[in-house]
Amino acid sequence: MTRTDFIARRGLAAVLLSTSLLSAGCATVQSLPKDATRGLDRDAEGLTYFLPKKLAKLTITREPVDPEELAEALKDATVALKAAKADQASKKSAAEGEQALLDQLASDASARSSQTETAELAKAARDLSDIRVTKAKAAVDAADKAYRAALQGARCAYASKLELLPAQADVSHRYVAQLRHNWLRDDTVKLAVTPAGLLSSSNVVAADRTGDILVEIAGAVAGWGGGGGRSSLWSSRTHIPQALQPDCGEPRTIVQIFDPADASARAKVAAALKKADYPFRVGPISAKDKAAVAADPSPPDEPSTSLDAHSPDKTVAEDIFKADRGAIFYRSPLPVTLTLEQRANGDDWQVVDAVLAQLPQAGPISYIPANSSAFVKTVDDVVFTDGVIASWSPERPSEVLEVVRLPIKIATAIISVPAQILSLRVDYSSKGKALADQQAAEIASAKTLSKLQKCLKDAEAAGADGLACLPPAP
């Protein structure tokens, strides 16, 4: 190696080393906010995922009240409850009798096997009768409540149901994950989403190869690139289509699907209920607002309280953008008690249904930082459940240890590579000589065979047996 070559390689190594150190800590996954007016462009190419949210469904039905019909319904429900209780007592007695008989057959294995099945069937019949009694009691309570309300002048009988729907995509938070490979880094990225577009797993591996390249340079192999560069993924945020509010009218049944963490959505539900003359309202009670519910001055047709835990998520993407935004976004749900209240008298409201919900959209937007490091392989293995983070397993080896090992690796390469080349040359020479000897032996064998064939041919022409042509025995 000439002095010029040595200086050039040393300069190249210095450039790679400084570039790798300066770029250490850069993002391997980015999430960029996207201008909706630009439409689909290069930033929209990749894997789309959404942040999760859960909506609530409110269903209320009403029927005209007829006191005579309600009295008859209460009578029928009471008779049904009496029959259910009689059947329950009979089934309970039968189950106890079959169990007692089974206990008496402890020594007879054959008879016990048959009786065991009979006893189990009797227990199942008893359990079924218990369920029927429970349902019959509920029917009597409902009929009695409706009848009493009719006697007090109620015009309608209401039935309500408040439920939380499964997690779905929040179209206001769409991200497009893209792979950006750097030629001095080994990037392995695996993202998985559910059919609803929610993240189920994320595995991002970024292995900086600058140290290996420096070792190869020391062994007379050069390469160019920036170690630890920018991200192998980024996510683009796009605009959300506006949802249409259905026309409510004056129905016998009213159904509202809404975001319980959104005050404006709850206000629309309250307005729809008021317009249809339904004496109900919905309101959340967050974990931090329970103490303030009693003093809430909200009017009867508005949600009973506001949800202060609602995240100002419109600014999250911009804030992360200013901080290099290497991330996979996720939401942390917060507990919210969603209540359904019915007007009793005047401004007196009573809670008639409630749902304790973990709402992703009520919690803050967070992100898993995914940053590359110089000379080492970084791993971010994340598992999601319906878009909500379940586990995060990061691996961050020591960069200092690799930096300490690097001079030894380079010195080893400087010493070992020439020795390997010399060994290769010696091995090549030995194999060449063996090949030449083999070829010479093949030529000699061919000449001997040619002479033998000519001798046998001459002996045959002379009428001899040709034994003289054979070589003497050793």
Q: What are phi and psi of 412, to 5 degrees?
A: -60, -40
DSSP E strand boundaries for 55-184: 56-64, 156-164, 168-179
Cβ-count burial 135-174 (b if 16+ within 10 Å, e if not)? ebeebbeebeebbebbeeeeeebbebebebeebbbbbbbb
CB–CB of 215/11 below 8 Å? no
The pLDDT value given to residue 394: 67
What's the Cα-to-Cα distance from 306 to each of 2, 24, 261, 263, rounded to whole Å?
77, 44, 9, 7
163-193 per-position pLDDT tens digit? 888 888 887 777 777 665 565 556 666 677 7
Residue 229 pLDDT exceeds 60: no
pLDDT class for 307, splitting at 50, 70, 90? very low
Determine the average pLDDT of the residues in 208-217.
45
Strands 199-208 and 377-385, sheet pairing: antiparallel
Determine the average pLDDT of the residues in 3-15.
48
What's the Cα-to-Cα distance from 243 to each of 195, 233, 254, 284, rounded to whole Å?
21, 30, 18, 22
CB–CB of 410/215 below 8 Å? yes
- Tokens 């809404």 belong to 258
pLDDT class for 417, splitting at 50, 70, 90? low
What's the Cα-to-Cα distance from 275 to each of 161, 271, 297, 350, rounded to whole Å?
19, 6, 21, 20
Residue 301 pLDDT exceeds 60: no
Determine the average pLDDT of the residues in 103-121.
80
pLDDT class for 79, splitting at 50, 70, 90? very high
Determine the average pLDDT of the residues in 216-226.
40
- Tokens 């970084």 belong to 378
pLDDT above 70 as % of the chain: 52
Determine the average pLDDT of the residues in 26-39.
50
Does residue 394 or residue 70 have the better pLDDT?
A: 70
Does residue 73 or residue 23 have the better pLDDT?
A: 73
Residue 209 pLDDT exceeds 50: no
Determine the average pLDDT of the residues in 114-138.
88
Determine the average pLDDT of the residues in 252-278.
86
Segment of 24-28, 53-57, 433-437 carrying the highest mean pLDDT = 53-57
Segment of 2-11, 15-24, 77-86, 414-423 carrying the highest mean pLDDT = 77-86
pLDDT class for 89, splitting at 50, 70, 90? very high
Q: Return the closest-CA partner of residue 123 out of 86, 87, 98, 89.
A: 98
Determine the average pLDDT of the residues in 180-207.
63
Residue 310 pLDDT exceeds 80: no
Determine the average pLDDT of the residues in 4-11.
49
pLDDT class for 85, splitting at 50, 70, 90? very high
441-468 per-position pLDDT tens digit? 787 777 777 777 788 787 777 777 766 7
The pLDDT value given to residue 383: 79
The pLDDT value given to residue 203: 59
Rounded CA separation 371/23 (Å): 10
The pLDDT value given to residue 449: 78
pLDDT class for 419, splitting at 50, 70, 90? low
> What value does the mean pLDDT of the chain take?
68
Residue 44, number of CB atoms within 10 A of its CB? 15
- In this structure, of 8-17, 93-102, 291-300, the range with the lowest mean pLDDT score is 291-300
Burial (Cβ within 10 Å: 0-12, 13-18, ≥19) of residue 409: middle
Contacts 24+ apart (CB under 8 A), 318-325: 318/33, 320/31, 320/367, 321/32, 321/33, 324/26, 324/27, 324/30, 325/27, 325/30, 325/31, 325/32, 325/234
The pLDDT value given to residue 162: 84
The pLDDT value given to residue 35: 44
pLDDT class for 273, splitting at 50, 70, 90? confident
Sequence letter at residue 170:
D
- 69 SS3 class: helix
pLDDT class for 395, splitting at 50, 70, 90? low
What predicted TM-score, i.e. pTM, was given to this entire model?
0.52
pLDDT class for 154, splitting at 50, 70, 90? low
Rounded CA separation 88/302 (Å): 47
328-348 per-position pLDDT tens digit? 788 888 888 888 888 876 677
Determine the average pLDDT of the residues in 298-306.
37
The pLDDT value given to residue 84: 92
pLDDT above 90 as % of the chain: 4
CB–CB of 31/235 below 8 Å? yes
CB–CB of 341/351 below 8 Å? yes
Does residue 296 or residue 52 have the better pLDDT?
A: 52
Q: How many helices (H) and strands (E) does the chain have?
A: 7, 16
pLDDT class for 90, splitting at 50, 70, 90? very high
CB–CB of 380/203 below 8 Å? yes
